């Protein structure tokens, strides 16, 4: 019997075996622990060391920000560093450790609470901002004191299983991901962004694994079984052998799929589907090539921002980055989505404040239109890149569109920038294709009007599901309510596809639903001819399409649309899939 196991939701298939490393991003309860009098000096030294390490990390970030973005942004980090090294604060904490003979975490927490109380009485505006700065710095110092230092994680030198209570995508991209064998997260959902990163890198992952951090703290070895949604700590040798053999079987199945990559994704009755890749980083183009993607249906440019954070990429950084990406595409079309920052994809430096409900806040196009300079840098670079390749190869896509005004405002900005760039001598083509993500229900409902204003649609079911069903896509507490198979979503997709077809514009789908074997027949049946997904899912979907007939798919989608609940739809689809694909092995 294994020592212990924790269940969750398997979100990126595979099995990983290795040493677990715990990362706690959420604040841990601070307990008051008495310290023997003769250890007080050591405790003070431990505190000073934590302050020094936090201040050094902040100063490192300040230097990076200064190099990349100039003094103005570096000032944010310098203010943080001053807080960390504030002699009054440090002195108060040391005094409390000495007089109370207590642990550094508790003394520090008490002093910070005292400061916060003083700030609270002083109202909003500038002081409220300083309050947030203090909170930021305090959590960094506390993390170090409690033994969880993100900086250390960035220096990982051996392969590990990363077990975390939370891991925002901004942190995930800063990890040496070559050394991450598997992810186990206590939070998250099937389409949260860290999940998407894991999936596109082919790293097995489980989310919503409550209690995994505690269990991992005491374990020397862990197995992530993302097929079953289970993580086993300290398995015995027989269990390890069993997992290794299942892993080998899975690798063999994948190898078989490699043999199919050259075969076109055509249904049995000759209906041609185009399979595209969703990418977060240009280096992922290797995987897209490996699985024979016909282009990039979604490039999530915000990962560029995350890699530069705490800095901001300049126009030239954008330009070089997209040139690299499009060159790697070797003539295939590339859809570059403008920054979709905000929400869970942290953009504190740009937003400048914390929001109480960021998912409904200043995210995507809203943030870009509010911060025009920041947006203009990206758009100028994109327009210049369009001028370097054949017409139409590079397309610009806008995220989180909820109404037509956002498209019109962006078009106006693009016109102004084009004029200016041409005056500066750049070649900017006429009619750069501009499309939108349809991922907010309001856009889907006015798709007929929206279709008159743009060149293409891409349906983002990750957010469309979140906003239609009012279910946070990254919240494990409601993960079971997150159902892209809900009839409401199917109806919206149908409307969008029909609106695009009437207007004669292209429509594709780039939400994770496009990679879900259960949903592929419905999507094809609804008339979607372009499916864009994480590269790792391409072979499974290619294989599935080659076993499907369009006539059957159309029948399946018509029937699914008449059903009343997500469960009814899923049951029906599972039944159909079992009949249709009895001969092929597909992990659903």
d(C-alpha 133, C-alpha 83), whole Å: 8
Residue closer to Mg ion (CB basis): 337 or 542: 337
Per CB under 6 A, the list member of 43, 94, 284, 439 interacting with ligand PEP is 439
Please choose which of ligand PEP, Mg ion, none residue 14 contacts, taking the beta carbon within 5 to 8 angstroms, the exact cut-off set by kind: none
Query: Do residues 382 and 322 lie in contact, with contact meaning Cβ atoms separated by under 8 Å?
Result: yes
Given Mg ion, ligand PEP, none, residue 225, with its beta carbon under 5 to 8 Å by kind, binds none
Measured CA to CA, the distance from residue 311 to residue 153 in angstroms comes to 20
Q: Which is nearer to ligand PEP, 179 or 491 (CB)?
A: 491
Among 17, 138, 281, 510, binds ligand PEP (CB under 6 A): 510
Catalytic residue annotation: 193, 510
Residue 275 phi, psi dihedral angles, 5° rounding? -110, 125
Contact 581, 547 (CB under 8 A): yes
Determine which helix (DSSP H) or strand (DSSP E) holds 351, and give its type and residue range. helix 348-351
Q: How far is CA 360 from CA 26, 327, 465, in A?
A: 22, 36, 14
280 binds ligand PEP (CB under 6 A): no
Instruction: Confirm or reject binding of residue 149 to ligand PEP (CB under 6 A).
Output: no
| Residue 287 interacts with Mg ion (CB under 5 A): yes or no | no
Taking the complex as a whole, how short is the minimal distance between the CB of residue 510 and ligand PEP, in angstroms?
5
Number of residues that bind ligand PEP (CB under 6 A): 11
Q: Which helix (H) or strand (E) holds 242?
A: helix 237-258
Q: Which of 101, 90, 110, 235 has the alpha carbon at shortest distance from 161?
A: 235
Please, what is the minimum distance in Å from the beta carbon of residue 435 to ligand PEP? 13
Cβ neighbours of residue 312 closer than 8 Å, sequence gap 6 or more: 68, 69, 73, 305, 349, 350, 374, 377
8 Å CB contact between 299 and 329: no
State the minimum distance, in angstroms, from the CB of residue 535 to ligand PEP: 14
Angle between helices 461-469 and 487-503 (to 10 degrees): 130
Tell me whether residue 103 or residue 338 sits nearer to Mg ion (CB atom): 338
282 versus 460: smaller Cβ distance to ligand PEP:
460
300 near ligand PEP (CB under 6 A): yes
Element at 67 (helix H, strand E) = helix 40-69
Phi, psi dihedral angles at 485 (to 5 degrees): -80, 0
Smallest distance, ligand PEP to C-beta of residue 437, A: 6
DSSP conformational letter for 494: H
Sort strands 222-225 and 230-233 into parallel, antiparallel or unpaired: antiparallel
Site string for ligand PEP, 331-350 (x = CB under 6 A): ---------x----------
Contact characters 470-509, ligand PEP, x per CB under 6 A: ----------------------------------------
State the binding partner of 171 from ligand PEP, Mg ion, none, CB within 5 to 8 A by kind: none
Q: Kindly report the CA angle at 50 between 46 and 56, in degrees rounded to 5?
A: 145
Question: Least separation, in Å, of the C-beta of 326 and ligand PEP?
Answer: 19
Distance (Å) of CA 298 to CA 337, 432, 493, 510, 571:
6, 16, 18, 7, 30
Residues 171, 194, 338, 461: which binds ligand PEP (CB under 6 A)? 461
**Using CB atoms, what's the residue nearest to ligand PEP?**
460
Task: Return the ∠ at Cα 213 (arms to 210 and 219), rounded to 5°.
Answer: 125
Q: What is Dmax (Cα atoms) for the chain? A: 82
By CB under 6 A, tell whether 463 contacts ligand PEP: yes
- Binding site partner of 17, from ligand PEP, Mg ion, none, Cβ cut-off 5-8 A by kind: none
Pairwise CA distance, residues 437 & 297, whole Å:
11
In the numeric block, which tokens belong to residue 377? 């840098």
Calpha distance 162→18 (Å, rounded): 10
Judged by CB under 5 A, how many residues of this single chain contact Mg ion? Answer: 3
Site string for ligand PEP, 441-460 (x = CB under 6 A): -------------------x
Shortest reach from residue 340's CB to ligand PEP, in Å: 6
Does position 462 interact with ligand PEP (CB under 6 A)? The reply is: yes
Report, in Å, the least distance between residue 237 CB and ligand PEP: 40
Choosing among ligand PEP, Mg ion, none, which partner's interface includes residue 510 (Cβ < 5 to 8 Å by kind)?
Answer: ligand PEP
Binder of Mg ion out of 302, 439, 472, 476 (CB under 5 A): 439
The least CB distance from residue 458 to Mg ion, in Å, is: 10
Q: Secondary structure of 535-572 in the HEC alphabet?
A: HHHHHHHHHHHHHCCHHHHHHHHHHHHHCCCHHHHHHH
The reply to whether 463 sits near Mg ion by the rule CB under 5 A is yes
Q: How many whole angstroms separate alpha carbon 233 and alpha carbon 120?
A: 44
When the beta carbons of 180 and 510 are compared against ligand PEP, the nearer one is: 510
- Partner whose binding site includes residue 208, from Mg ion, ligand PEP, none (CB under 5 to 8 Å by kind): none
Q: With binding defined as CB under 6 A, does residue 570 bind ligand PEP?
A: no
The answer to the question of residue 105 lying near ligand PEP (CB under 6 A) is no
Interface pick for Mg ion out of 13, 313, 460, 521 (rule CB under 5 A): 460
C-beta of 139: minimal distance to ligand PEP in Å?
26
Residues that bind Mg ion (CB under 5 A): 439, 460, 463
Residues that bind ligand PEP (CB under 6 A): 196, 298, 300, 340, 439, 460-463, 510-511
């Amino acid at each position: 019997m294994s020592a212990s196991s924790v269940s969750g939701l398997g979100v990126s298939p595979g099995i990983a075996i290795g040493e677990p490393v715990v990362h706690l991003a959420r604040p841990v309860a601070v307990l008051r622990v008495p310290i023997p009098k003769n250890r007080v000096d050591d405790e003070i030294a431990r505190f000073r060391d934590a302050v020094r390490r936090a201040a050094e990390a902040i100063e490192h970030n300040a230097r990076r920000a200064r190099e990349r973005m100039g003094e103005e942004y570096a000032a944010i980090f310098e203010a943080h560093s001053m807080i960390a090294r504030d002699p009054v604060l440090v002195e108060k904490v040391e005094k409390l450790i000495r007089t109370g003979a207590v642990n550094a975490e508790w003394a520090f927490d008490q002093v910070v609470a005292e400061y916060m109380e003083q700030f609270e009485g002083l109202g909003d505006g500038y002081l409220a901002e300083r309050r947030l700065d203090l909170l930021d710095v305090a959590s960094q110092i506390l993390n170090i004191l409690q033994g969880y230092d993100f900086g250390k994680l960035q220096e990982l030198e051996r392969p590990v299983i990363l077990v975390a209570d939370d891991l925002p995508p901004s942190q995930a991209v800063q990890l040496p991901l070559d050394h991450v064998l598997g992810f186990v997260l206590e939070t998250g959902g099937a389409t949260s962004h860290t999940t998407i990163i894991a999936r596109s890198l082919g790293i097995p992952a489980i989310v919503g694994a409550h209690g995994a951090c505690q269990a991992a703290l005491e374990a020397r070895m862990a197995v992530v079984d993302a097929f079953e949604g289970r993580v086993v700590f300290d398995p015995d040798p027989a269990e390890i052998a069993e997992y290794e053999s299942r892993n080998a079987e899975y690798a063999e199945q994948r190898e078989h799929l490699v043999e199919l990559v050259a075969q076109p994704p055509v249904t049995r009755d000759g209906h041609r589907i185009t399979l595209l890749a969703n990418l977060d980083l240009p280096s992922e183009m290797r995987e897209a090539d490996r699985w024979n993607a016909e282009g990039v249906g979604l490039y999530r440019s915000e990962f560029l921002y995350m890699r530069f954070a705490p800095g901001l990429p300049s126009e030239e950084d954008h330009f070089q980055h997209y040139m690299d990406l499009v060159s790697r595409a070797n003539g295939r079309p590339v859809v570059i989505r403008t920054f979709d920052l905000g929400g869970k994809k942290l953009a504190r430096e740009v937003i400048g404040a914390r929001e109480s409900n960021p998912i409904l806040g200043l995210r995507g196009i809203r943030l870009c239109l509010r911060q025009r300079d920041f947006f203009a840098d990206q758009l100028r670079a994109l327009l210049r890149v369009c001028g370097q390749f054949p017409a139409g190869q590079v397309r610009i896509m806008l995220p989180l569109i909820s109404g037509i005004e956002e498209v019109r405002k962006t078009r106006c900005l693009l016109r102004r920038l084009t004029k200016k760039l041409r005056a500066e001598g750049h070649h900017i083509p006429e009619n750069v294709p501009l499309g939108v993500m349809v991922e907010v229900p309001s856009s889907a409902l006015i798709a007929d009007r929206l279709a008159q204003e743009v060149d293409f649609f891409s349906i983002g079911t990750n957010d469309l599901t979140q906003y239609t069903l009012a279910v946070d896509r990254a919240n494990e507490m409601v993960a079971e309510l997150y159902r892209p198979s809900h009839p409401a979503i199917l109806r919206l997709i149908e409307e969008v596809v029909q609106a695009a077809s009437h207007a004669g514009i292209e429509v594709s789908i780039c939400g994770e639903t496009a990679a879900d074997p259960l949903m592929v027949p419905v999507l094809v049946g609804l008339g979607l001819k372009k499916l864009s997904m994480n590269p790792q899912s391409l072979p499974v979907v290619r294989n599935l399409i080659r076993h499907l007939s369009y006539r059957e798919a159309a029948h399946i989608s018509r029937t699914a649309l008449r059903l009343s609940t997500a469960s009814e739809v899923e049951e029906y689809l599972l039944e159909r899939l079992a009949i249709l694909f009895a001969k092929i092995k597909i992990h659903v």
